[in-house]
């Protein structure tokens, strides 16, 4: 008789499966497990390694060293240079991408012949990887066969070829130009979608009040799409800060480390030095910077509420 009785575990499992909460629990369980394995464990492991001497080529000497990785990081001239580069990299790229992307979105929001073709050319770069974009611009910046040097020589702007990627004075500006070009498409796509959601009645009401194009842009368009502006600039700043793929495609951090940003320096510590402890310390610092930036940005823009226009 006892063998015919369902076990306690079986009854509990059946009750979970047959209840809404049980269904939700079992549906989310695989996702939670995957997040724990591939997200939270590496994150926690990275925090631990930031306080260890963790050399890939000498795993027999892994031990706790306190804040030594952070102390060495702040004393490293490469880190200081990469930190300054990161500021230029993020802010110049973000402001330029948004400004040009907004201008392009405003143009694409108007009807004109060939708009679909022009839109395709504008959006195309966003379909490519950052590393591939870097390789394309590496060829364009080439001092011997690059199209940019050729155009500048033909137009008389320069008299001799410039080593855009081999000269430390030009290298960082060159990778920023490539990054600006890459990110224009993102803002153009997102802002165009936001512009197309603005009700035409608002523009009609503005016209009746005698508002010209500039006043409509300032008083109607920008306030209405501000939630999209806030979200896109926040996300794009984080992506630019974290993503060194264009730099690796263009210069690999050179010449002489002059184009390293924090994220590329972190990868350089791993791939070429095998110093996981130092790389983890940089990663922890980057997380802290992004958290502070996000809190500050959302605090400054908190007066703008979604859909409150």
Domain count, the chain: 2
Does residue 98 sit in the same domain as residue 209? yes
Does residue 114 sit in the same domain as residue 260? yes
Judge whether 306 lies within some domain.
no
Does residue 8 sit in the same domain as residue 110? no
**Cβ contact 250:165 at 8 Å:** yes
Judge whether 59 lies within some domain.
no
Judge whether 198 lies within some domain.
yes
Question: Which one, of 259, 263, 266, lies nearest residue 280 by Cα?
Answer: 266
**Cβ contact 261:82 at 8 Å:** yes
Does residue 118 sit in the same domain as residue 245? yes
Does residue 112 sit in the same domain as residue 74? yes
Please tell me the distance from the alpha carbon of residue 8 to that of residue 61, in angstroms, as a whole number. 50
* Res 6: pLDDT: 56
Judge whether 142 lies within some domain.
yes
**Cβ contact 280:50 at 8 Å:** yes
Does residue 44 sit in the same domain as residue 126? no
Does residue 113 sit in the same domain as residue 36? no
Does residue 159 sit in the same domain as residue 274? yes
Please tell me the distance from the alpha carbon of residue 92 to that of residue 101, in angstroms, as a whole number. 14
Residue 297: count other Cβ atoms within 10 Å of its Cβ.
Answer: 15
* Res 1: pLDDT: 46
Judge whether 55 lies within some domain.
no
* Res 119: pLDDT: 86
The torsion angle over the Cα atoms of residues 195, 199, 200 and 201, rounded to 10 degrees, is -150
Judge whether 218 lies within some domain.
yes
Each as own residue / partner, the long-range contacts of residues 65-74 (CB below 8 Å, 24 or more positions apart, any chain) are 65/277, 69/277, 69/278, 69/280, 69/281, 70/281, 70/285, 72/278, 73/278, 73/281, 73/282, 73/285
Does residue 158 sit in the same domain as residue 27? no
Instruction: Find the length of the chain.
Output: 309
CATH number for the domain including 274?
1.10.3720.10
Judge whether 56 lies within some domain.
no
Each residue's pLDDT tens digit in the chain (309 positions)?
A: 455 555 655 655 555 555 666 667 667 778 888 877 777 888 888 899 999 999 888 888 888 999 999 999 999 999 999 999 999 999 999 999 999 999 999 999 888 888 888 888 888 889 899 999 999 999 999 988 899 999 999 999 989 999 999 999 999 999 999 999 999 999 999 999 999 988 888 777 888 777 777 888 888 888 889 989 999 999 999 999 999 999 999 999 989 899 999 999 999 999 888 999 999 999 999 999 999 998 988 888 775 554 443
Does residue 145 sit in the same domain as residue 34? no
Judge whether 22 lies within some domain.
yes
Does residue 43 sit in the same domain as residue 73? no
Note down the domain range covering 45: 2-49
Does residue 107 sit in the same domain as residue 147? yes
Please tell me the distance from the alpha carbon of residue 51 to that of residue 68, in angstroms, as a whole number. 7
**Cβ contact 188:122 at 8 Å:** yes
Question: Which one, of 264, 243, 249, lies nearest residue 135 by Cα?
Answer: 249
């Amino acid at each position: 008789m006892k063998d015919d009785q369902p076990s306690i575990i079986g009854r509990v499992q059946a009750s979970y499966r047959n209840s809404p909460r049980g269904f939700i629990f079992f549906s989310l369980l695989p996702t939670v497990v995957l997040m724990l394995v591939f997200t939270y464990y590496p994150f926690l492991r990275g925090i631990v390694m930031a306080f260890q001497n963790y050399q890939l080529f000498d795993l027999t000497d892994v031990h706790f060293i306190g804040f030594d990785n952070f102390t060495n990081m702040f004393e490293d001239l490469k880190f200081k240079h990469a930190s300054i580069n990161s500021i230029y990299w993020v802010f110049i790229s973000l402001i330029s991408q948004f400004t040009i992307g907004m201008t392009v979105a405003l143009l694409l929001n108007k009807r004109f012949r060939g708009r679909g073709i022009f839109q395709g050319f504008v959006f195309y770069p966003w379909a490519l990887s950052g590393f591939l974009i870097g390789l394309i611009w590496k060829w364009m910046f080439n001092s011997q066969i690059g199209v940019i040097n050729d155009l500048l020589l033909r137009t008389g702007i320069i008299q001799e070829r410039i080593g855009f990627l081999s000269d430390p004075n030009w290298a960082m500006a060159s990778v920023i130009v490539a990054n600006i070009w890459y990110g224009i498409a993102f803002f153009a796509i997102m802002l165009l979608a936001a512009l197309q959601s603005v009700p035409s009645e608002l523009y009609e009401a503005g016209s009746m009040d005698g508002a010209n194009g500039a006043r409509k842009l300032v008083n109607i368009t920008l306030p209405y799409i501000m939630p999209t502006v806030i979200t896109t600039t926040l996300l794009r700043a984080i992506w630019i800060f974290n993503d060194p793929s264009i730099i690796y495609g263009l210069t690999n951090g050179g010449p002489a480390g002059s184009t390293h940003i924090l994220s590329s320096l972190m990868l350089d510590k791993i791939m070429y030095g095998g110093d996981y402890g130092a790389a983890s310390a940089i990663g922890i610092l980057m997380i802290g910077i992004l958290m502070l930036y996000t809190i500050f940005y959302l605090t400054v823009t908190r007066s703008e509420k979604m859909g409150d226009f």
